Copies of this chain bind each other. A is one copy, B any other.
Amino acid sequence: MISVEDARALLFELVTPLSAETVHLAAAGGRILAQNVAATRDQPPFEASSMDGYAVKATEVELHAMFKVIGESAAGKRFEGKVGPGQAVRIFTGAPMPDGADFVVIQEDVERRDSLITITHPPGEKTNVRPAGIDFAVGTKIKAPRQLRPEDIALLAAMNIASVPVTCKPVVALISTGNELVMPGETPGPDQIIASNTFGLKALLENNGAHVRVLPIAQDTVGSLETAFGLAQGADLVVTIGGASVGEYDLVADVSEGLGLEQSFYKIRMRPGKPLMAGRLGDAAMVGLPGNPVSAMVCGYLFLVPMVRRMLGIEDVLPPLQQAQLKAPLTENGGREHYMRAIVDSDGIRACDDQDSSLLSVLAHANALLVRQPNDPARPPGDKVTYLPI
C-alpha cells in the first residue's frame, strides 16, 4: 500500500496536458486558456474623454472663461475639425478627443447659452482625458494557462480576440460495475440497489472541466466488462467503480490486465478508499475506484479532480486544503490516512458522527473532508486541523 501523496504522483504520470481547441469567446467562460493571446488593438484606440463635457485647450481653462461651441464628438462619431483658440467641442464619455483640445471641462462646471459656454465652477487640474492605450496596447498579453473568469472574457472581447485557444475538455468514461446495480429510474430487484456513484462523479468532474460519458453498467462477467471497456474507447480517462476489491467477484483487475493494462499501483493507505488501482490502458489512463459510494466520491476529490486539472494544463492541481479549529474531540487515528466527513463553519470544524463509507446521506450533509494523518494522536477541541472543502 502506498500513501495518498505517492498515489497522486503516480496518477499524474498517467496523464499529460491535452491539446488545444479554438472556441468562440461566448463559450470560453471557465475554460483554460491554452496559449498566450495578445491584444490586436489599443484600448482606448484614441485619446478619449472620461466625462460628459466640453473639450477645450487646457491653457485657456480658468473660471469665467467663455468658449464658442463649434461641434460635437460622440462615442462612435468624432468631431472631424480642429479646436482653435476660444473654441469648444461638446463631448461625451468615451468619445475621441478632437484635434487641438487637451482638456474636458465637465458639464456640471459650465453654463451654456446657445453656442456659448462659460466656466462657472473651478474645473480643477484633472484633464478628464484618457490617453490612447491606457487600458492595453497592441501586443499586451494574457498568459496561459489561466482559467478564464468573466473579467477575462470581457478583457478578451475588448482586445477583439473573438476566438480563444483553450485546452480540450478531458473525456472521462465512467463504468459502474456490479450485478447488484440498476440505473436511476429503473425498478431494482429485491437484491439490487441504484447506481449512484457515476452520477455524483459526473457532476463533480463536469464542475471541474471534464466531459463525462456515463457508460452502461457492467455486470460481473468478463464479457460485460470487456464490452464496457470497448465503449470507453476514445476517453482520456477510464474510471471503473466497484469490483476493485479482493472478493471472487472482483473482475476489473483481471479483465483490464487482459486488455493490456500496465498497472501503476494497487491499494492506497487511506480511509475510505483503500482498494484503488490505476494504470495505463492503451491511450487512456485507467483508475479503478472502490464501490462504496462515499469512497468513490472521496477518491473523486482526491485523485480524479487533480488528474482532470492536470489534463487541462492547470498549474495548481492539488486539492485546496484549508485549516480550521476542532469543535469536538477526535480519537486516535489508525495507520491509514483518513478523510473524515465533517461540517465546517466560521466557528470551526466537527467530524460527522457516523463515518461508515456507505452513508451517502452523511456525505451530502457534510461540507468538508477532515484530513487525519496516519497514527495522528487523539485531538482535543481547539486543535488546528486540515480539511478539504467539498
Interface residue ranges, A against B (CB under 8 Å): 25-26, 28-30, 41, 43-46, 50, 52, 74-78, 92-96, 107, 130, 134-136, 140, 142, 148-163, 178-181, 183-185, 188-204, 206-207, 214, 220, 245-249, 291-293, 297, 300, 356, 358-361, 363-364, 366, 390
Contacts and interface: CB of A to CB of B under 8 A. Distances in A.
Contacts of A160: 184-185, 188, 194
A363 B195 contact: no
A359 B135 CA distance: 5
A206 B45 contact: no
A358 B44 contact: yes
How many copies of this chain does one complex carry?
Answer: 2
A254 to B, nearest CB: 16
B152 A190 contact: no
A300 B153 CA distance: 14
A25 B198 CA distance: 11
Contacts of A158: 193-194, 196, 293, 360
Given A25-B184, A157-B195, A358-B50, A77 B45 contact: no
Contacts of A356: 50, 130, 134
A199 B359 contact: no
B75 A364 contact: no
Contacts of A206: 29
16 contacts: A26-B202, A26-B214, A28-B203, A29-B202, A45-B190, A78-B191, A135-B359, A136-B361, A148-B203, A149-B203, A150-B297, A151-B200, A154-B364, A155-B360, A157-B196, A158-B193
A184 B200 contact: no
Nearest to A198: B157
A74 B359 CA distance: 20
Which 3 A-B residue pairs are closest in the complex by CB-CB distance? A154-B200, A29-B203, A162-B185
A161 B184 contact: yes
A336 to B, nearest CB: 15
Nearest to A90: B248
B76 A178 contact: yes
A378 to B, nearest CB: 20
A134 B359 contact: yes
Given A157-B200, A193-B158, A93 B292 contact: yes
A116 to B, nearest CB: 17
Contacts of A107: 246
A56 to B, nearest CB: 17
A267 B189 CA distance: 63
A215 to B, nearest CB: 13
A363 B155 contact: yes
Contacts of A25: 184, 199
Given A197-B154, A297-B154, A363-B154, A163 B179 contact: no
Most-contacted residue by chain B among A74, A96, A135, A203 (CB, 10 A): A203
